[in-house]
């Protein structure tokens, strides 16, 4: 069996349903021979984003796989791997390698060297017989510990070599979990039980551990409100009376209100890492931090107690300990907490309702988001934002009700990421309505891959907020914008979608938003990718770089 065929047989045994890629890489053809669906994209970065989403929406139970050509393919794919690394997403990448004799000769691109800073694990297969061992290590690394990209570079001349290996000998690497120190759990329970105004802050570790029921149990047991990071958004249902929503660069009033007035903050499945795209943690609070990666402890936020372990195991242990401490019927404060959450949220929404329901034209993007949420079944949708204004306008107001109903991100903010995420989510979850909301700047980076969605039969919904401008940059580029039009961009993206064979519609009247959404959803249900282009105002969410934020 040739090396590339052995790789394909291993992927098949690991349950890989799709190999996304851009040729030429022998693994793509071998995967097709093994009856694994091969999906060819227009550019490597989008394909990596698609693989990223496959891992995200399955909590890492399925690992997204991407294969690309040596040299230019590996170079073009760098950004997609870097984005997955920044947001802690497990994918397996097969960058093609030059023949062994010239793999380290300049200027040939050596992925093993160049990808060191954006992968959790990377190796080159120089001995053909070692191929199964290398792939076993790759899956073990992807499934265990902090989730991040893993790469295996197989040189061109190794791919076609025959090895003595039988698929029947393959042993799949198990997914393992670790639990926190029991003494630490007891101390955490004591701190939380004694808190007067605790707040729970949940990150995407809750998603990977599938610890959604435990998070809800903890909130109700502690009678404590819950907020999430962008990456953790949808880990807690935002229609729950204890939900505060999620904080990013745009922070809903309830999040800021309760964090600032808390005495104890319990972070679960989060890193508390410094980022310009997260809510700032208030100083002077007692912080209990539970995370899978002990390297996150005391990294950017001073903590009183740290717990290292899987989020589900941590919550199970903490809930059991709290039940032995707290009164059987609770402390009777839940009604008061829920009433406070409802009041703060209600006051905040009344401030924003004129904007969310505005009839102005060009329409405000907030009206688009408001009507989009009312026109679709949120419980059956997976939505993601793109970088810039769409992220900051969507995340505060979209209220997901089911786990992984929102794919939030922001440790790196590459424009165009949302399109690949929505396409990959639809591949992994064909039963869901998968939506990405992007601006006219973002679609300029990856919009050609809407053709991939048409060709590969991936019926998702793309929403483009088109204001013919890079609006978030207006304040920081006033001179170049005025002199040379540097912030001005244009295009008719609905016509582009139709030219590619998809459903496309441009909407200029806010009264038509809901009807247009329903028509587009019907198109996706008929198997056709859809793109809705809304002509919006040059509206900015807020200042560009808030200081001191964390995820």
pLDDT tens digits for range 208-244: 999 999 999 999 999 999 999 999 999 999 999 999 9
Task: Determine the average pLDDT of the residues in 436-454.
Answer: 96
Q: Do the beta carbons of residue 453 and residue 502 sit within 8 Å?
A: yes
Does 457 have pLDDT greater than 50?
Answer: yes
Rg for the chain (alpha carbons), in Å?
A: 24
pLDDT, tens digit, 9 for 90 and up, residues 252-287: 999 999 999 999 999 999 999 888 888 999 999 999
At residue 541, the pLDDT reads: 60
Structure tokens at 422: 């929505």
Distance CA 181, CA 164 (A): 45
Q: Order of strands across the sheet with 226-228?
A: 243-246, 226-228, 198-202, 264-268, 286-291, 305-308
CB 540 within 8 A of CB 471: yes
CA distance linking residue 265 with residue 255, whole number of Å: 12
Rounded Cα–Cα distance for residues 341 and 364 (Å) = 27
Alpha carbons 66 and 43: distance in angstroms, whole number:
12
Helix (H) or strand (E) holding 52: helix 44-57
Q: What 8-state DSSP symbol labels residue 380?
A: G
CA distance 534 to 326: 52
Tokens of 453: 């969605």
CA triplet 114, 120, 125: central angle to 5 degrees? 65
The yes-or-no verdict on residue 42 having pLDDT over 50 is yes
Mean pLDDT in residue range 419-424: 98
Q: What is the C-alpha to C-alpha distance for residues 511 and 528, in angstroms, rounded to an integer?
A: 24
Which pLDDT belongs to residue 548? 38
Superfamily of domain 182-342: TPP-binding domain (3.40.50.1220)
Q: How many residues does the chain have?
A: 551
Closest alpha carbon to 496 in 430, 419, 434, 392: 419
The DSSP symbol for 328 reads: T
pLDDT confidence bin for 43, thresholds 50/70/90: very high
User: How far apart are alpha carbons 386 and 449 in whole angstroms?
Assistant: 15
Using CA atoms of 259, 260, 263, 269 in order, give the dihedral in degrees to the nearest 10: 30
Under 8 Å between Cβ of 264 and 198: yes
**Which residue in the block uniquely carries the two structure tokens 């016509």?**
495
Calculate mean pLDDT across residues 89-96: 98
How many Å apart are CA 96 and CA 76, to the nearest integer?
A: 12
Q: Any idea where the domains of the chain sit in the sequence?
A: 3-169, 182-342, 357-535
Angstrom distance (rounded) from CA 228 to CA 246: 5
Tokens of 180: 């926190």
Alpha-carbon span 418 to 409, nearest angstrom: 9
The per-residue pLDDT for range 393-416, each reduced to its tens digit, is: 999 999 999 999 999 998 888 999
For residue 247, name the pLDDT band (cuts at 50, 70, 90): confident
The band of 543, judged by pLDDT with boundaries at 50, 70 and 90, is: very low
**Band (539; pLDDT cuts 50, 70, 90):** confident
The average confidence (pLDDT) of the chain is 95
Q: Tell me what pLDDT residue 104 has.
A: 87
Lowest mean pLDDT among 79-93, 234-248, 460-474: 460-474
DSSP bridge partners of 268? 202, 290
Q: Decide if 279 contacts 255 (C-beta within 8 A).
A: yes
Output the pLDDT for position 540.
Answer: 66
Q: Residue 448 — very low, low, confident or very high, per pLDDT cuts 50/70/90?
A: very high
Classify residue 192 as exposed, middle or buried by CB count within 10 Å of its CB (0-12, 13-18, 19+).
buried
Residue 468's pLDDT is: 82
Cα(254)–Cα(87) distance, rounded to whole angstroms? Answer: 25
Please determine whether the domains at 182-342 and 357-535 fall in the same fold group of CATH. yes
Q: Mind listing the pLDDT tens digit for each residue in 150-194?
A: 999 999 999 999 999 999 999 999 999 999 999 999 999 999 999
Is residue 490 within 8 A of residue 468, CB to CB? The reply is yes
User: Any idea which fold 357-535 has?
Assistant: Rossmann fold (3.40.50)
CATH second-level architecture of 3-169? Answer: 3-Layer(aba) Sandwich (3.40)
């Amino acid at each position: 069996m040739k090396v590339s065929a052995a790789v394909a047989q291993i992927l098949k045994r690991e349950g890989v349903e799709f190999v996304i890629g851009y040729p030429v890489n022998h693994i793509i053809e071998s995967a097709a021979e093994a009856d694994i669906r091969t999906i060819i994209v227009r550019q490597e970065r989008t394909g990596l984003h698609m693989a990223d989403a496959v891992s995200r929406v399955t909590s890492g139970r399925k690992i997204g796989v991407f294969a690309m050509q040596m040299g230019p393919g590996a170079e073009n794919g760098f950004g997609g791997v870097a984005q997955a690394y920044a947001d802690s997403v497990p994918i397996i990448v097969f960058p093609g390698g030059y023949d062994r004799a010239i793999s380290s000769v300049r200027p040939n691109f050596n992925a093993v060297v160049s990808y060191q800073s954006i992968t959790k694990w990377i190796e080159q297969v120089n001995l053909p017989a070692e191929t199964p061992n290398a792939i076993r290590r790759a899956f073990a690394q992807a499934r265990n510990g902090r989730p991040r990209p893993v790469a295996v570079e197989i040189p061109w001349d190794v791919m076609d070599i025959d090895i003595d290996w039988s698929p029947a000998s393959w042993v799949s690497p198990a997914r393992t979990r670790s639990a926190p120190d029991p003494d630490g759990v007891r101390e955490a329970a004591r701190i939380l039980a004694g808190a007067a105004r605790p707040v729970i802050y949940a990150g995407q570790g809750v998603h990977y551990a599938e610890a959604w029921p435990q998070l809800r149990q903890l909130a109700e047991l502690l009678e404590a409100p819950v907020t999430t990071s962008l990456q953790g958004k949808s880990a807690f249902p935002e229609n729950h009376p204890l939900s505060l929503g999620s904080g990013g660069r745009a922070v809903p009033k309830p999040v800021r209100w309760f964090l600032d007035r808390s005495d104890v903050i319990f972070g679960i499945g989060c890193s508390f890492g410094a980022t310009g795209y997260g809510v700032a943690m208030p100083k002077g609070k007692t912080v209990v931090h539970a995370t899978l990666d002990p390297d996150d402890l005391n990294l950017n936020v001073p903590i009183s107690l740290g717990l290292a372990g899987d989020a589900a195991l941590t919550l199970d242990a903490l809930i059991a300990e709290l039940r032995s401490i707290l009164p059987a019927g609770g402390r009777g404060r839940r009604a008061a907490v829920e009433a406070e959450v409802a009041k703060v949220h209600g006051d905040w929404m009344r401030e924003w309702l004129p904007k969310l329901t505005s009839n102005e034209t060009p329409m405000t993007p907030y009206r688009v988001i408001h009507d989009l949420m009312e026109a679709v079944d949120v419980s059956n949708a997976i939505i993601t934002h793109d970088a810039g204004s769409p992220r900051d306008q969507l995340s505060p107001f979209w209220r997901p009700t089911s786990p992984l109903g929102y794919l939030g991100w922001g440790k790196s903010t590459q424009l165009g990421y949302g399109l690949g995420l929505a396409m990959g989510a639809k591949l992994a979850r064909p039963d869901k309505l998968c939506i990405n909301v992007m601006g006219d700047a973002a679609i300029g980076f990856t919009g050609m891959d809407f053709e991939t969605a048409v060709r590969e039969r991936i019926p998702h919904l793309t929403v483009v907020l088109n204001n013919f401008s890079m609006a978030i940059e207006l304040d920081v580029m006033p001179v170049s914008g005025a002199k040379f039009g540097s912030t001005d961009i244009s295009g008719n993206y609905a016509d582009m979608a139709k030219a590619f064979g998809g459903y496309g519609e441009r909407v200029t009247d806010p009264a038509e938003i809901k009807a247009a959404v329903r028509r587009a959803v019907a198109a996706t249900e008929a198997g056709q990718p859809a793109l809705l282009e809304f002509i919006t105002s040059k509206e900015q969410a807020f200042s560009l770089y808030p200081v001191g934020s964390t995820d």
